[in-house]
Each structure stands twice: as C-alpha cells, then as structure tokens.
Chain A
Amino acid sequence: MNPRPWWRRAGHAGLLLVATVYCVFPIYFMFVQSLKTAQEDVFGNPFIVTNPTLENFEELFERKGQPRNFVGRALRRDYPFFVWLENTIVIFGGSVAITLAAGVAAAYALGRLQPPGFRWWRRAIFATYVVPHTILFVPLYQVIIRLGLDDNPVVLLLVYPTMALPFCVWILSAYFQNLPREIEESALVEGASRAAAFYRIVLPMSRPVLIAAGIFALGTIASDFMIASVFLLSEHNQTIPAGLATMEVALDELLAVAGINLMAIPVVLLCAVFARGYVRGLTAAMIEGA
C-alpha cells in the first residue's frame, strides 16, 4: 500500500489523542485530588497538584482507633479501612474463583459433552441477564435469611458469581465447542481419563479464554455497589465500595477520594497486566463467529 498522506496520519494521531484524553482524564482527575492537602484542595488549581502528599492515604488507615473528635460541630468518624480492604480482597478473589470454577465446569458440559438441549440451556443461562435487579433484593433477602447469612460477607460470594457467570459460560462454552475434538481424543486413545485429558490438555490450551473470563468477572464484580451496600450492614463486614458510600463526603472528601484510588489502583493494574490476554481470549472464544 502506498504511504498515507500526512494529513490523514495527523488526523489519525489527533483522534487517538482525543480518545486517550477522553478515557483517561476522569481517572487522572480523581487521582490528582487524592494527592492534595486540604488547603490545596480548596484553593489550588483543580487539574494539577503542586505539593503531592500521601497523607490522605495514611490517614485512611491511621484514623482507626483514634478517639472521635469534633470538627466544628460535626462528629468525625474513624473508618475500619483495613478491615474493608481485607473483606474486599477475600470477596473479590473468592467470587472470581467461584465464577471460574462453576463457569468452566458448566461450559465444558455445554460445549463439549453437549447434553440434549444444550443450546437452550446455554441460552437460558445467558437470558438470566434480563432479570431486573432493583427490587430483587427483597426476596433475595428472604433466601439469605433462610440460609442464615444475614449481614455476612459470604452472601456476596453467592450473589457476585451470578452476575458474571452467564457471560463467562457463554464465551468459555463457545471456545470449548470450537476446539477440535482430535485434541482430546488422542489423549483418550492413549488411555488417559476424560478428567486427565481435560486437566492436562484442554485447560492449558484455554488460558487466554480463562483470562478473559476472569477479567470480565473481576470487572463485573468490582463494579457492584448496590448489592454490597444493601446486604452488608455492619461496619466490619463491609467491602470498600459499601464502606466508602457511608463516609461523610462533606467532611472527609479527600479521604474518600483516597479510598477510591486505593481500591481502584490494584484492580486497574491487574486488568492492565492481563489486558492483552483479555482481548486474545475474547477473540479466541468468538473466532467461529458464534
């Protein structure tokens, strides 16, 4: 192909710049605010930080255990941020693991073993996305009380997978279905059991799709705010999103912004590390146009 004229290349570069700024600016803005002192937050330039400080992040952890003191006439709370962080890590990690385990099992059954009506089964699983969530938690609460899990973070380990499972089952089963049968059959002929063939051959091959499913699950789970704040009532059971929402924004704005960043940065880094695998996995799952 002949080289493209300069104005087309400039146009392309310009569009790339616009897209990048559009995507990154809000995140940059939130990050900058978290590095500010209270003084700069009020009087400084909103777009930059001149005296970056980590004191907001430190205060988030250190305020724990301090006696409550008064600022003006309002009560200043302390936040069990460390507990929230622990809960968040356990719940997010656990939910992603459960989603992947249940998803791979179901997807292998649907894509590979293909019981009668598997297409409809798969469609039914995917169709659960149409269930409206807004007042569903009223009957869901009945289920949870029946299970004795009231105000217990374990609830989220049961609810979160249901938000990510349909899509994960979809892409995983599409991938398993398109995988040539010979791959497994040669191992079966050699005398390996079906489980061994799956574990030793199919699973390692599916790495990109597993990454795609895992990242999708993490992104979906990390975006929930409603379920966490409805079901986790006591302070020491909450995850970071639920906890942050209980903060007094008017008093602790900088602390809250620091909390937002502290939660987001690890998730973003994890996603960034696996970003390429995520795209590759989605491609691999859909390559047959399904």
Chain B
Amino acid sequence: MATAYLLLAPATVLLLGMLAYPLGWEVWISFTDFSPLNDHGPRFVGLENYRHLLADAEFWRAVVVTVGFAAATTLAKLALGVAFALLLARPFRGRTLVFLAIFLPWAYPASVSVIGWYWTLSPPIPTAYSPFMGTLKYTVDGALGGGAWAFLSVTLFNIWRGSSFIGVFLLAGINAVPPELFECALLESRSAWRRFWLVTVPLLRPFLALAVFLSLTTAFADLANVWLLTAGRVVFPVVGTQAYWLAIKGGQFGPASALSLMLVPSLLAVLALLFRAFDPPAEARA
C-alpha cells in the first residue's frame, strides 16, 4: 500500500498546493472583513458577509444570469453534441473529414480563438466586416440592453466550442456500446424517436453525465476570459465576475470570497447526483 500512496503523492500534492490552500484562505476570508483598505488585519465577522449577500438584489440578479447561462449553454451543447455524435455514428463516405471538422472547434485553442471571436464580433477598427457587425451589435444591444451582444457572443462561442467536445466525447460513448444493442433496439421499435430515448440515452448515460459536469464547470472560463480581455466591459454580471470586481476593484475580499463560494454547494450537489450515473457503486456495476 505504501507504493500506492507514493504514486498518488505527485498528483495530490499538486492539487492540494494549488487548490487547497487558496480555497482554505478564501473560506476563512469569507468570514472576515479583510480588505487592503483597512488598517487592521482580517477580523472575524461570522456569517455577516453571507447575510449581506442574500439580502442584495444585485447578487440575485447575478445568480439568475449565472444559472441561466450555465443551463442554456449546457442544454445547447448537449443537443448539438448528441446530434453530432449520432450523425457520425454510422460509417459513410467522408466520415473522417466530417469528424475532423467537428473536432476542430475544441482543438482550436480557446485562449486565442476567444480573442479572435470577440474581436470579430465586436471589431475595434474599420475592417470590411465591421459595418455589418457594428449594426448587429447595436441592434442587439438596443433591443436587450448594453453589453447584451458581447454576452451573447461569448455564449455562442461557449456553445460552439463545447458542442464540439461533447460531440466527440459522445461519439466515443457510442463506440463503446456493442452494436448488437442498437440492432436489437431496431427490432423492438420502429420509431427512431422512441429508440433514441429508450435505448441510446440510457446507454450513453455515464457519458452524458460526465459531459454535463464538465460543461457546467468550464462554462465560465470563456466568460471570464472575455471579461478580463475587455477590462470588465461585459456588463451582464455573473457570480464569478462580480466577485472579481468586488475583490480587485473594491478591495472587499470578505464579501467577494463569500460571493465566489456561494455556488460551490450547489455544484457539489449536482456532482453528487451525476456520480450516480458515471461512477455507480461497485455492486451495481457488475
């Protein structure tokens, strides 16, 4: 067993060092009034920060936007991903090419494609496409409020990239299912729609669950990227960016820490539910 712990050490030390201390600090600070603007050090204030947040209308607005963004992008990614995987499931001529095309959005590094995407949709200077994009931007902003287009474009980007990942991931899932099961299903029911819900979805359940979780936890990276890139000009507040704003601009680390931790319990609850799908207990598995 000593070997086992020795082998686990590098990964565990990396994760603990880079996540546990920072997370612990954040939890502790969320119970204090720590701010670089204060003369005194962090002072324990109990649940004060959390109580303030729960009474704050801005916070609830951010929660609504956050949950809406996560739910909408995840649903869209799942729908597109399933469609891609089913399109590629059966062999046909040119399948490799289509597969590569669908793999591309994820393989294209998001760190730079999000920059390109953002600049293309909100061009900074006259290019051949800026008049069109400008019109689009002002139409959307005019209809939905300032910053709506930037937010929408990040949403589209997130769906574009995520659907590629989920599509390829589910294709791997379909490949893992013995083809006889699908053939049996063909005899059982003539309705493709029924077969999809009664056979394909249950068989892909572990893959779908894993994909949903990865989608939920990575949904905000793109938003944060663009948000930093534009120095906070994307106005629609989500919990993460609001916390950043409070901490970096306002120096209010206590409330900011509390804010950024608010969604962790619900994410953990979702994960606990999803574990039942993709990591069933050993007895149930055999």
Contacts and interface: CB of A to CB of B under 8 A. Distances in A.
A130 B160 contact: no
A225 B225 contact: yes
A75 interface: no
Q: What is the interface residue range for chain A against chain B?
A: 35 or more
Contacts, number: 292
A116 B127 CA distance: 62
A82 interface: no
Nearest to A167: B214
A87 to B, nearest CB: 13
A129 B113 contact: no
A40 B126 CA distance: 11
Contacts of B127: 33, 41-42, 46, 253
Interface string A124-150: 011111111111111110110000000
Contacts of B123: 253
A235 interface: no
Interface string A158-182: 1101100111010000000000000
Nearest to A134: B240
Given A114-B4, A140-B22, A283-B176, A130 B228 contact: no
Q: Is the interface of B mostly helix, strand, loop or mixed?
A: helix
Given A16-B87, A123-B275, A158 B14 contact: yes
A30 B112 CA distance: 11
A191 to B, nearest CB: 18
B14 A113 contact: no
Contact of B224 (A24, A130, A134): A134
Nearest to A17: B98
B285 A105 contact: no
Contact of A23 (B14, B29, B101, B271): B101
Contact of A290 (B12, B108, B116, B206): B206
B166 to A, nearest CB: 12
A131 B14 contact: no
A165 B278 CA distance: 18
Interface in B132-188: 160, 164-165, 168-169, 171-173, 175-176
Contact of A12 (B92, B104, B168, B261): B92
Interface string B4-23: 11011011101101110111
Interface of B: 1, 3-5, 7-8, 10-12, 14-15, 17-19, 21-23, 25-26, 29, 83-84, 87, 92, 94, 97-117, 119-120, 123-129, 160, 164-165, 168-169, 171-173, 175-176, 206-207, 213-214, 217, 220-221, 224-225, 228-229, 239-241, 243-244, 247-248, 253, 256-257, 260-261, 263-264, 267-268, 271, 275, 278-280, 282, 285
10 nearest interchain CB pairs?
Answer: A223-B110, A271-B107, A282-B172, A241-B111, A222-B109, A139-B22, A134-B240, A139-B25, A106-B11, A109-B7
Interface of A: 12, 15-16, 19-20, 22-24, 26-27, 29-30, 33, 40-46, 98, 101-103, 105-106, 108-110, 113-116, 118-119, 121-123, 125-140, 142-143, 158-159, 161-162, 165-167, 169, 194, 219, 222-226, 228-230, 240-241, 244-245, 249-250, 253, 256-257, 259-260, 263-264, 267-268, 271-272, 275, 278-280, 282-283, 286-290
5 contacts: A16-B87, A143-B18, A241-B112, A283-B176, A287-B176
